[in-house]
Structure 1
């Protein structure tokens, strides 16, 4: 399987200007991407994961030609993305997170026919591609409804249709299931897998570890502007087989309590998440001991009058790998 995207020794430095006294301007350098190299194989789903501020978005924008690297090269299907930006961009269909990429006052059909014309298709070809895409995405029965009346999941399908209209070999999906209900997210994941089966290469970013684990052939984890791990999901999980995990659901969390838990011998990481659907908190604890760790944890929880509703012993997950490597949860 050939490599369709090649990232070699890519760096990106931004010059930050700050006004000082007497109208002087101080310039400082910010290295958003320090030295990143990875390749994406033709026909694979490649995950790029990283906490906020890790450099992930900068890498994505450089692949798309929206930013120029300070150093290094990016090849997209054999095309240098800096030297031939438009030609390289024609190889990529994309959905960018937070980008309202379709027109809500137009119908789904009008949106896709419009973007087909922008990609250079004739009126006849555009109508044919639009009909095919609406059917493929399961929205043909809503094709003549304005997008503003669609659910979030339906709007995301129209955005995906726009990305697929040019029939580019590479699809970049930046947080494609963000904000979707579980059923809509499941439907979109099925579509992503069908695209892979058609031979498309997919670059995926997501804040949902279970999604990355389920979809991706390989995953790169970026933090502080550097790739700190790159492998298959199974190999990444195997790399921390010596780490055990406890997930404890409690009624409240105090910062001092978390600090005391972190000080227990053999505990590596402590992270907490608020479960808005339950009104409770979930504490995830990584440790290196299977026998004597529970009682010290319970003692601290009791000390802070914390009520426990559930305790689960877990096998290593991709989330555990991420926390082990970066010290934080992906959604932080």
Structure 2
């Protein structure tokens, strides 16, 4: 038996959409562009990427919910196209959000219903459901209707549902989205316990701290392709030789930020809107004091606190993704702004 829980080679998925009625035209969008991936059994693997990068499409192909346009993939030793039934017996899929549960039923009745769908033997259902309720911290609340559950409780019930049939490989698609910090912490603890017990977990998330805490290896996906794979520390090495400056500013325009981007020692500038203020993050060469140049570029702009620090996983992620965005722009726009 192979030690790989997931093996994908050249995985692609193209969507075809139609526009117009009298003279219809077809548009092809390549959501996933040749993904190759190997995940070992028992590994907790992270998949990071911006919205629209292809994360969910990749998971849907690996869980047999979508057919690949090209390439191949094996999950738990079975081909996702030729051995669909065998793959589905061995995988669990948990997604973030409120969908997929029956609000008018209790948490217990939801699990009983899905146990039947997953063909869990009747003689095993009671003990299995009790185990899972204990695992996700819902013991004592299982007879309450789901419509009264908090977002975190719903997500933990989602997790219990995905584990009913004891999957070998568990896919978690942004499971902590919208969950409060306490609920997210409990969810992370449960996921870590699952991985330590031998379950292979593939996790997608937008939370860098979550990925760094849980995942042994992380892949960054952007523009439909995997850009880098490694541990959190290995990904941070992409920002070797750089320092990070963050400044709280009030009312900076694109022109102001453009002046910072043009500074010779600057590698990247990102902005986070905080309502009345903005947090400007600047990556620059190590050994260069960028603060005076930033203050000069923002002359006339109210500047609050300025901090300097070493690069984080989030900084590495931004460097990878923004680098892909620049490459994509260069591919699609030729000289003088003419589409390539």
Matches within 5 A, 1:192-211: 192-211=191-210
2:31 equivalent in structure 1: 32
Q: 1:317 aligns with which of 298, 307, 312?
A: 312
For residues 1-332 of structure 1, what are the structure 2 equivalents within 5 Å?
2-19=3-20, 23-98=22-97, 100-275=99-274, 280-303=277-300, 305-308=301-304, 310-327=305-322
The CA deviation string for residues 11-44 of structure 1, in whole angstroms up to 9 with x for no partner, is 1122222226xx1221232221121101111111
Counterpart contact for 1:322–1:329, Cα < 8 Å: no
In structure 1, distance between residues paired with 2:65 and 2:200: 20
Other structure's SS at 1:7 match = strand
Deviates more, 1:87-96 or 1:157-166: 87-96
Q: Give the distance between the partners of 1:210 and 1:319, measured in 2 at CA.
A: 8
Q: Extract unaligned runs of 5+ from structure 2.
A: 326-340
Deviation per CA, 1:239-271, whole angstroms, max 9, x where unpaired? 321121112223443222211211122111111
In 2: Cα distance, 1:289 partner to 1:203 partner: 35
Partner Cα distance (1:90, 1:99) in 2? 24
Deviations 1:134-182 (A, max 9, x none): 1111111111111111111011111111011111011111111111111
Q: Structure 2 length as normaliser, TM-score? A: 0.90
Deviation at 1:329, TM superposition (A): 12
**CA-atom RMSD, angstroms?**
1.9
Equivalent pairs counted in the alignment come to: 324
Secondary structure of the corresponding residue to residue 142 of structure 1: coil
Partner of 1:48: helix, strand, or coil?
A: strand
CA deviation string 1:91-122 (max 9, x = no partner): 11111234612111111111111111111123
Deviation of 1:300 after TM superposition, in Å, equals 2.5
Q: Is the 8 A contact 1:319 1:329 kept in 2?
A: no
* More moved, 321-330 vs 112-121: 321-330
TM-score calculated relative to the size of structure 1: 0.92
| Gap change, CA 1:319 and 1:52, over 3 Å in 2 | same
SS of the aligned residue for 1:239 comes to helix
Inter-partner Cα distance in structure 1 for 2:143 and 2:277: 43
Give ranges in structure 1 of 5+ residues lacking alignment: none
Query: 1:217 deviation in Å?
Result: 0.7
